[in-house]
Amino acid sequence: MEFRRVLFRSTVPATVQTLISARIDRLDAADQALLSRAAVVGQTFSHALLARVVTDRREHLLGALNRLAQAGFLQRTRVVPHVEFSFKHALIHEVTYASLPRNLRKGIHTAVVAALRSRSLEIPNRLALLAQHCLRSEQWARAFVCGQNAGRDALRRSLHREAARLLEGAIEALAKFPRTPRVYRRLASARNAIRSVAAQAPSRSSIARACRAMRWSTRSRRSAGCRWHNRRCPRRRRVTWRYLGSC
């Protein structure tokens, strides 16, 4: 199976994409498929987690990963308590991930979510990984809950940039739901964490853009009982942040 040479929209120059794709083409079909699945799991991934996703060659997985490491695609970053690999360069990961068809990526993300929900699998940062893969597999309700909880956990550990990224993903997931009062109440339940990140993290503007992208209608704000629905409100320019603390 020839690796798909797709020149996608990216910050990676087209010549670099072509060179990386040519290197991947020299691998056999099984190693190409394994590298693609590893790219969906993450730039850094656990051997145990990848083994739950790759079911057809589980007994030879570690040897195949070592072979990809010798070929210069991966590198082993941890041995204890869990064997962990990472892509040797972020460009390799980006080209490999973006060259997969969207439906195939979504299916692998769904398999990763199922693996992460297993109680028998011990993975650090499980909640943040769940939020990421639920968002990419379009499991919106689970992505919102996991992103909100993981964002609050990151905020407690003073990881403000990580908290901002996770909470922005939670808002993005919530934006996929119909505009109902219940959705607004769920958004309001995350207001304290979001406002804390906004006060402390430099990425406040990214969360504000995500909130504005939801395009809450005047009718929906009125039905949710929000006191900022009036377009003539003198403080309407702060409606995004005031709304989070007013419903």
pLDDT digits (tens, 9 = 90+) for 73-111: 999 998 877 889 999 999 999 999 988 999 999 999 999
3-state secondary structure of 125: coil
Most confident of 200-204, 213-217, 223-227: 200-204
Q: What pLDDT does 181 receive?
A: 76
Judge contact between 157 and 127, C-beta under 8 A.
Answer: no
Q: What pLDDT does 204 receive?
A: 52
- Judge residue 162's burial from the number of C-beta atoms within 10 Å of its C-beta, 0-12 exposed, 13-18 middle, 19 or more buried: buried
3-state secondary structure of 236: helix
Q: What pLDDT does 78 receive?
A: 86
Share of the chain above pLDDT 90, in %: 38
When pLDDT is averaged across residues 158-166 and rounded to a whole number, the result is: 84
Q: Taking all residues of the chain, what is their mean pLDDT, rounded to a whole number?
A: 76
Q: Reply yes or no on whether the pLDDT at 185 is more than 80.
A: no
When pLDDT is averaged across residues 31-54 and rounded to a whole number, the result is: 92
Q: What are the residue ranges of helices labelled H in the chain?
A: 14-25, 29-41, 47-53, 61-70, 90-98, 102-116, 126-136, 140-156, 160-174, 181-189, 191-200, 204-213, 218-223, 239-244
Confidence of residue 230 (pLDDT cuts 50, 70, 90): very low
Share of the chain above pLDDT 70, in %: 68
When pLDDT is averaged across residues 47-60 and rounded to a whole number, the result is: 83
Distance of CA 74 to the CA centre of its chain: 21
Which helix (H) or strand (E) is 46 found in, with range?
A: strand 44-46
pTM of the model: 0.74
Please tell me the distance from the alpha carbon of residue 4 to that of residue 241, in angstroms, as a whole number: 44
Q: What pLDDT does 3 receive?
A: 47
Q: Are strands 44-46 and 84-87 parallel, antiparallel or unpaired?
A: antiparallel
Q: What pLDDT does 195 receive?
A: 64
Where is pLDDT greater, at 235 or 70? 70
CA terminus-to-terminus distance, the chain: 54
